[in-house]
Amino acid sequence: MATATPELVAQEAPVAAPAVPFSIRIGAPMSAAFNEAVQHARNGYTFSDAPIEIMEASGWAWFTMIRGNPKEYIINAAKASVERSVAEEAAQYRKDVAEAAKRLLESQQRAKLEADVAAATAALDKQIAELRKAAQAELAKLN
């Protein structure tokens, strides 16, 4: 029986492919490619330092993602973009609320004005009716 040396074991032992690759190359229409990248990022991949290739005519993007954590400056940039987006959305929300309040106030003021005009018109119509009645009474006396 032969003694198994490390060289012999290395030759005979099957080498398993890694279950998770170190790098992934993605090429697809931009929206699909970047949505796929989101899923890979959730699974521990980040963009490599290689340039992202974009074909403007076809709308395709090609890039490589690698296993690992993003660099510190990327983490800081992501935090800053979240803070900026929250501030922008809060500002837009305040603007939308202010505009809605302004429209509501204008609507209430318009409704009050319309009610005031209707009441004044009714009072004037009543006065006109009384004046007509008085005028007809005076005309009747003359006849």
pLDDT band at 13 (very low <50, low <70, confident <90, very high): low
- How far is 138 from 131, CA to CA, in rounded Å? 10
Average of per-residue pLDDT across 6-29: 77
Distances (CA, A) of 68 to 17, 23, 40, 48, 112: 19, 10, 11, 10, 65
Confidence (pLDDT) at 18: 72
7 pLDDT higher than 80? no
Which domain covers residue 77, as residue numbers? Answer: 71-143
Residue of higher predicted confidence among 15 and 24: 24
| 52/109 same-domain check | no
Residues 57 and 124 in one domain: no
Q: Quick one: 41 and 81 in the same domain?
A: no
Tell me, what's the pLDDT at 19?
83
Is residue 20 very low, low, confident or very high in pLDDT (cuts 50, 70, 90)? confident
**Calpha distance 46→31 (Å, rounded):** 17
Q: What is the pLDDT of residue 14?
A: 67
DSSP letter for 22, please.
S
Do 78 and 106 lie in one domain? The reply is yes
102 and 42 co-located in one domain: no
pTM score of the predicted model: 0.54
Taking 80 as the threshold, does the pLDDT of residue 10 lie above it?
no
Q: Are residues 54 and 81 in the same domain?
A: no
Q: Which two tokens stand for residue 96?
A: 């939308």
Q: What is the pLDDT of residues 70-117, one digit of tens each?
A: 889 999 999 999 999 999 999 999 999 999 999 999 999 999 999 999
Regarding whether 128 and 138 lie in a shared domain, the answer is yes
Domain presence at residue 81: yes
Q: How confident is the model at residue 11 (pLDDT cuts 50, 70, 90)?
A: low
Mean pLDDT of the chain, nearest integer: 91
Domain end position, chosen among 51, 69, 87 = 69
- Assess whether 77 and 135 both reside in one domain: yes
- 46 Cβ contact list (under 8 Å, min separation 6): 65, 66, 68, 69, 70, 74
- pLDDT-based confidence at residue 142 (cuts at 50, 70, 90): confident
Strand partners, 119: none
Q: What are the C-alpha distances in Å from 57 to residues 29, 50, 61, 68?
A: 11, 21, 11, 32
Check whether residue 56 and residue 78 sit in a common domain.
Answer: no
Domains: count for the chain: 2
Residues 32, 100 share a domain: no
128 assigned to some structural domain: yes
Same domain, 56 and 75: no
